[in-house]
Amino acid sequence: MLTKIMKPKSIAVIGASTKQHTIGSDIMKRLQEYKFNGAIYPVNPKGGIIEGLQAYTNVNEIPGEVDLAIIVVNAKFVLDTIDQCHQKGIKGLCIITAGFKETGEAGAQMEAELLAKVKQYGMRAVGPNCLGVVNTHPDVRMDGCFAESLPERGNIGFVSQSGALGGGILNILKDLNLGFAQFISIGNQADVNAETALEYWENEDDVEQILLYMESIQNPQNFRKLATKISKKKPILALKAGRSAAGASAASSHTGSLAGADKAANALLNQSGVIREYSLKNLFATAKVFATCPIPKGDRVAIITNSGGPGIMATDAICEYGMQMAKITDETKEKLRSFLPSAASVKNPIDMIASAPIEHYKQTLETVLADDNVDMVMVIYLPFLGLKDIDVARAVMEIKAQNPSKPIIGVFMTKNEFFTKLSDMDVNMPFFMYAEEAADGFNRLNQQRKWIQRPEGKIPTYRVDRQKAEAIISQALSENRAQLTTRESIDVLDAYGIRVCKSGFATNLEEVIQIGNSIGYPVVMKMTSKTTSHKTDVGGVRINIQNQEQLANEYNDLIDKLTQKGLIEGLEGVIIQEMVKGNREMVAGIATDPQYGPMMMFGLGGVFIEVMKDVTFRIAPLTDIDAREMIQSVKAYKLLQGARGTTPAQMEQIEETLLRLSQLVNDYPFIDELDINPLLISEKTGEAIAVDGRIKVRLEEAMKAFHSCSCGACAGCCH
Amino acid sequence: MLTKIMKPKSIAVIGASTKQHTIGSDIMKRLQEYKFNGAIYPVNPKGGIIEGLQAYTNVNEIPGEVDLAIIVVNAKFVLDTIDQCHQKGIKGLCIITAGFKETGEAGAQMEAELLAKVKQYGMRAVGPNCLGVVNTHPDVRMDGCFAESLPERGNIGFVSQSGALGGGILNILKDLNLGFAQFISIGNQADVNAETALEYWENEDDVEQILLYMESIQNPQNFRKLATKISKKKPILALKAGRSAAGASAASSHTGSLAGADKAANALLNQSGVIREYSLKNLFATAKVFATCPIPKGDRVAIITNSGGPGIMATDAICEYGMQMAKITDETKEKLRSFLPSAASVKNPIDMIASAPIEHYKQTLETVLADDNVDMVMVIYLPFLGLKDIDVARAVMEIKAQNPSKPIIGVFMTKNEFFTKLSDMDVNMPFFMYAEEAADGFNRLNQQRKWIQRPEGKIPTYRVDRQKAEAIISQALSENRAQLTTRESIDVLDAYGIRVCKSGFATNLEEVIQIGNSIGYPVVMKMTSKTTSHKTDVGGVRINIQNQEQLANEYNDLIDKLTQKGLIEGLEGVIIQEMVKGNREMVAGIATDPQYGPMMMFGLGGVFIEVMKDVTFRIAPLTDIDAREMIQSVKAYKLLQGARGTTPAQMEQIEETLLRLSQLVNDYPFIDELDINPLLISEKTGEAIAVDGRIKVRLEEAMKAFHSCSCGACAGCCH
């Protein structure tokens, strides 16, 4: 798929130049300096010798076959250049040239034409507006980038939406003991994007972990499908920028791409098993951990230190991540006591005290690694009394080499030059300066472990009454209403098998009484209106009605009040509902993000919804595992479990409610918003009952889907 | 106060040794290598030459005066050595020797004797069990530590409770462009502790910022008093370890000190203007910022970059801290446009694009600094096309030197060696690798700015009815009850002028009716019992009683139920209360931490209290500013402000409620727990009304205070 681009046997550099400090010159230099394992053909209309090679005036003059064309000509020549590449039979392009979508409408138009040609010719193209591509495999050795530094060899596949950032990263990787297997600067991602790279790298053994720097996700559903699968095989770490409103606005102006709401991005990454990092620093720190650490069997951490303070700080950090301090066995303790001085502490954190020689580091680490209660080990070193940091590191790595199955992270609070020395060595474990960084690393390993163990989940399909739901929606559409009434909303939920509270609709006193009596008291009465959506604000909700007489009084009073306020016109009638007793008000709903599509929400409802923000999001459709995790991930989960003597909620029934909602929006993607608030937990049965509901559709889209529009504009639609 | 220790003219090293890699040898070496500006006298019973100096067999043989004795002899000789020091007239001790409190009871006993001698002789002592002391001032040049590295000169005063950590830090400071003015390793802090150092450094101009590594706080009230004052003059940064339960347990075993609850520590540091850091990494990053940055005038940040991606990430980080992206004036934009290329973006973040030469960095920075809408500037550099990082840094520092009044932080995403180069230079601003680190720094500067501007606040004294409160408490004590009944609790609150809901106490039907009628309906009826504390669990709370008839029924029903359950014995009677309508249930209360003393709590009450944990703590007594900040710092503050059409709460009245509670616990420090839950916000008036209350005292302490004990043991007490 990307073989011609990432593993070319020959490269044409179209726009190669003799002028120093230009991209056309730098690319030629890097390809040669890094000793590309194939033919390099500079192309320049003026011909001549470029970086010691004969330049061709046109790509079609090149005698041999060309797999990849790296294009650095001026934007206005790019389309013609693609035609020429096609004539030459080239299938791989890397278009470094800028001046497309990122510059405005004219550029976007040109980019669309570019993409059309690429598709038409059966090519694949990286860019435009990018830094280039890298493959460090010894059989390829391609540095097709104009960054300052040559790439370091490593196990990372890196996709960067920011070219400049990619360049910056190439500069600092060596210091971190990290390197790339492959690197793709996707630029404007006209054709090749993060998803293409993910798919390509799934079975590339050389790429053992995937890092993404993204400002937008092009096709969220496709991304989810790919990432979910691939992240079980190799860790995917993502830095998604443009989180804040201001950041997102900077993101749009930067790459011309639409930035999706951050909570949607977060939900998507979470569901797909992608480890989200919030800073470059953390991205690389995590990459450093995955570069050499195996996935642990559990979350029990042992700490070995020669200094108490850092041991305490490490313990704090481990516990704050919810991991466990390993309970060292008595056998291990005894063994440790046999060689450590009496002032040492053999409880975890194991404090060998400041006098610990290298031999104690080795023996203690070996002993602790052999303990079945230990899944991961942090080794802390502070320099004392003549012990050399690099010697300790070598000793620890020696033990690590003999015990490859458990992750070990070194915390060496020592001079910067230690890390510079390390960067020239072949390390088999990560080293950091501070305990908190090591704890971060263990946390990420643990997260990946849990993800790998997480069942895939299923998207169930329930039998529902589509006919009924569609009849209700059609009715609203026929009246040109995007907003369904409360009654319609509740009925749609009911048609989808969601437990709504028993109710009936009445338009006069007689019906009111009849329905009230059939449901049984106490009941609630709620007005439904086509003009008033916030019912409580106009006194349209009456609760705890105890008997027929009170019901009649409340109804008459409502009619009087609405008449006085001039709101009687919009009144459709009143809903009489069973009064569900319970003080746990949850919320479930659907929101639509313009880029990510329908998103499910669940959490604490009622008056607290906006203040506490104890809600969680997932991209639809939900698997059963997604639904369960949603419920378990809000703080209010403790309330559902039954705090202080309340009835435990029926968790499976709540899960089903979310899954049925997910099916609903899957069937009718034009649903723009849906709120069940409150989704009340019955104190009696623990059932979650939809007490109030609001559904809003995107009118045009819905009409198209239902062929119910008479506007003429969509008369030509095909069904 | 600590002058003899920190600025000695002569030092005796008691326990100096010729044996290599021992503390007695290392201390001698360091003092000489760092060129101590006074006399050094090695003391060793064997005499001889130590590190080129004639050793004395006893401190009393030293011919000249001695200001400071650094003691490294075996623990068993320390007490005698102190006696000898006294004979010699030495007033300053630094006891490095370990083997005291940290080893158990015998050691603790010895440490108590040590302290008694120090007090008796009018000495001050650092340690025991410490690393030593440092003063880098050119007039002193004392390195009295046995760390690996010599100290770097700088503006930091550092107190470390962990000796080892102090040594580790000495090792890495140079790499961070940081240095100490003074350093005290307090060890077991028998005499000198963090508070002594704070007090001493208040007027030491050489110490411009204070860093604390603490595992415990010895005298929280004294710490608060000192820190509150000093933090307005110079920033105080603290790393308080032992946060987690496991961490705290490690802390106790490490230093033998009691670790207080972390939320109390957090409240204390917060109230005292101490900037709390959660990792060493962040501690030093912040110190680096305070080392060269002035306090800004506001929170508006401008970002200058040569690469879009990092600009976006920086924007994200700035916004997440709640700071503002500066709105660049049109004038500034025009000026920027006059020299930047057209592809550059002159909106904040200002993207000069990858081709930006040094001249653009200088011009852009100068222009942006001149903009009145800008308080702080982040300068981002990624290496492109031949531009050298260190040259850019020099240029930026040149502009900084001409504009000292606004903080500038550099983000240089470049090789490690850049930072090594920097560490040999005299820098006038901080440089980091990543944008997030710079954002952290700006956030800390902004926090310090807000603290300096924060009014000091007053602790008001309200007129209260102490007599009534004491009568109630005495009654409970006379019955040997630590737990006050609901009625008693509410009455105590009432005596302290806290708005409680109108109520009366009744023991029979006739009284019930009479009180109900006098309060007016609807009312609530609550049982009060000496044996049952969770009333709701036994059906002891009846709400929304509408009239006299219903009240009579409910009362009779309660009596029946309790009789059936065999609980009628404990029943004191029932409280009839006004029924306050409102659905905003807050909580206010007092908890006592064994180390930090009484702590005030405020936040969201009701069923959510334990699930949402939306509460905040402060150490008592509260100032008015503390009380206001408590109210504003919980998420539920939005509810109080009046979300979705609810009545705004009376903020000043809530503030007063907290202050009156603070006065209550100040008057009666034996109050162990106090809960007002709910503190209901009346929908009608916005008042906060104490609907239910529980007070528990520490019985012995209370009895002592009230002389009401008849146990004999406390008969001798003096009042």
CA atoms of B379 and B384, how far apart (whole Å): 15
User: Residue B537: its pLDDT value, please?
Assistant: 67
Cβ-based contacts of B178 with chain A (< 8 Å) = none
**Domains of chain B, with CATH numbers?**
3-290 (3.40.50.261), 302-453 (3.40.50.261), 466-578 (3.30.1490.20), 584-705 (3.30.470.20)
Cβ of B309 within 8 Å of Cβ of A612? The answer is no
B320 touches chain A (CB under 8 A): yes
Distances (CA, A) of A208 to A13, A234, A294, A624, B703: 30, 6, 12, 30, 70
A162 touches chain B (CB under 8 A): yes
Cβ of B382 within 8 Å of Cβ of A325? The answer is no
| pLDDT band at residue A385 using 50, 70 and 90 as cut-offs | low
| pLDDT band at residue B307 using 50, 70 and 90 as cut-offs | confident
Cβ of A243 within 8 Å of Cβ of B103? The answer is no
CA atoms of B671 and B479, how far apart (whole Å): 17
User: Residue A403: its pLDDT value, please?
Assistant: 95
Cβ of B607 within 8 Å of Cβ of A583? The answer is yes
CA atoms of A534 and B564, how far apart (whole Å): 47
Write out pLDDT tens, residues B10-69: 999 999 999 988 889 999 999 999 999 999 999 999 999 999 999 999 999 999 999 999
Cα nearest neighbour of A24 on chain B: B385
Cβ-based contacts of B186 with chain A (< 8 Å) = none
CB atoms < 10 A from the CB of B205, how many?
9
Cβ of A317 within 8 Å of Cβ of B279? The answer is yes
Cβ of B247 within 8 Å of Cβ of A315? The answer is yes
Cβ of A254 within 8 Å of Cβ of B279? The answer is no
| pLDDT band at residue A244 using 50, 70 and 90 as cut-offs | low
Cβ-based contacts of B316 with chain A (< 8 Å) = 241-244, 246-247, 278
Give the side-chain half-sphere CA count within 13 A for A671.
28
Higher-confidence residue of A216 and A663: namely A663
CA distance B117 to chain A (A): 27
CB A524 within 8 A of CB A542: yes
B414 touches chain A (CB under 8 A): yes
CA distance A425 to chain B (A): 16
User: Residue B250: its pLDDT value, please?
Assistant: 52
- Ranking A382-396, B131-145, B283-297 by mean pLDDT, the lowest is A382-396
Write out pLDDT tens, residues B505-553: 899 999 999 999 998 888 999 898 877 766 766 778 888 899 999 999 9
Cα nearest neighbour of B388 on chain A: A148
B611 touches chain A (CB under 8 A): yes
* Closest C-alpha to A140, from A4, A287, A15, A1: A4
User: Residue A254: its pLDDT value, please?
Assistant: 34
User: Residue B253: its pLDDT value, please?
Assistant: 34
Cβ of B309 within 8 Å of Cβ of A419? The answer is no
- For B219-224, the CB contacts below 8 A with 24+ separation are B219/B193, B219/B195, B220/B260, B220/B264, B220/B268, B220/B595, B220/B596, B220/B597, B220/B619, B221/B597, B221/B619, B222/B195, B223/B194, B223/B195, B223/B198, B223/B268, B223/B272, B224/B268, B224/B271, B224/B272, B224/B619
Q: Which of A315, A350, A424, A443 is best to mutate for the B interface (most B CBs within 10 A)?
A: A315
* Local structure of residue A483 (DSSP, 8 states): B
| pLDDT band at residue A287 using 50, 70 and 90 as cut-offs | very high
How buried is B402 (Cβ within 10 angstroms: 0-12 exposed, 13-18 middle, 19+ buried)? Answer: exposed
User: Residue A537: its pLDDT value, please?
Assistant: 67
Transcribe B501-524 into DSSP letters.
--EEEESSHHHHHHHHHHH-SSEE
Cβ of B416 within 8 Å of Cβ of A172? The answer is yes
B423 touches chain A (CB under 8 A): yes
Q: Which of B21, B242, B608 lies closest to A316 in CB terms?
A: B242
Transcribe A290-303 into DSSP letters.
HHHPPPPSSSEEEE
* Closest C-alpha to A485, from A505, A515, A501: A505
Cβ of B635 within 8 Å of Cβ of A644? The answer is no
A550 touches chain B (CB under 8 A): no
Cβ-based contacts of B537 with chain A (< 8 Å) = 645
CB B380 within 8 A of CB B306: yes
Cβ-based contacts of B613 with chain A (< 8 Å) = 635
Peptide bond into B128 cis (omega under 30): yes
Cα nearest neighbour of A327 on chain B: B246
| pLDDT band at residue A255 using 50, 70 and 90 as cut-offs | very low
Q: Which two tokens stand for residue B57?
A: 């067999």
Cα nearest neighbour of A281 on chain B: B434
* Local structure of residue B646 (DSSP, 8 states): P
Cβ of B239 within 8 Å of Cβ of A313? The answer is yes
Peptide bond into A678 cis (omega under 30): yes
Write out pLDDT tens, residues B394-407: 999 999 999 999 99
Helix (H, G, I), strand (E, B) or coil at B563: helix
Which whole number is the average pLDDT over B603-611?
77
Q: Which two tokens stand for residue B449?
A: 């700015």
| pLDDT band at residue B594 using 50, 70 and 90 as cut-offs | confident
A347 touches chain B (CB under 8 A): yes
Which residues, numbered 120 to 149 in chain B, qualify as contacts with chain A under a Cβ-Cβ cut-off of 8 Å?
A: 146, 148-149
CA distance B33 to chain A (A): 16
CB A455 within 8 A of CB A628: no
Which residues, numbered 630 to 659 in chain B, qualify as contacts with chain A under a Cβ-Cβ cut-off of 8 Å?
A: 635-636, 638-639, 643-646
Q: What percent of chain B has pLDDT over 70?
A: 94
* Closest C-alpha to A35, from A138, A174, A132: A138
Cα nearest neighbour of A251 on chain B: B312
B415 touches chain A (CB under 8 A): yes
A516 touches chain B (CB under 8 A): no
Q: Please give, one letter per residue, the 3-state secondary structure of B683-719.
A: CCCCCEEECCEEEEECHHHHHHHHCCCCCCCCCCCCC
Cβ of B607 within 8 Å of Cβ of A316? The answer is no
Distances (CA, A) of A287 to A156, A237, A501, B109, B378: 8, 8, 51, 51, 27
| pLDDT band at residue B462 using 50, 70 and 90 as cut-offs | very high
Q: Which two tokens stand for residue A134?
A: 């890298």
Helix (H, G, I), strand (E, B) or coil at B500: strand
Q: Which of A171, A278, A584 lies closest to B383 in CB terms?
A: A171
CA distance B547 to chain A (A): 16
Which whole number is the average pLDDT over A329-339?
96
CB B380 within 8 A of CB B310: yes
Helix axis angle for A486-495 and A466-478, nearest 10°, is 160
Write out pLDDT tens, residues B402-432: 999 999 999 999 888 898 899 889 999 999 9
Higher-confidence residue of A105 and A170: namely A105
Cβ-based contacts of B385 with chain A (< 8 Å) = 21, 26, 146, 148
CA angle B88/B91/B96 to nearest 5° reads 95
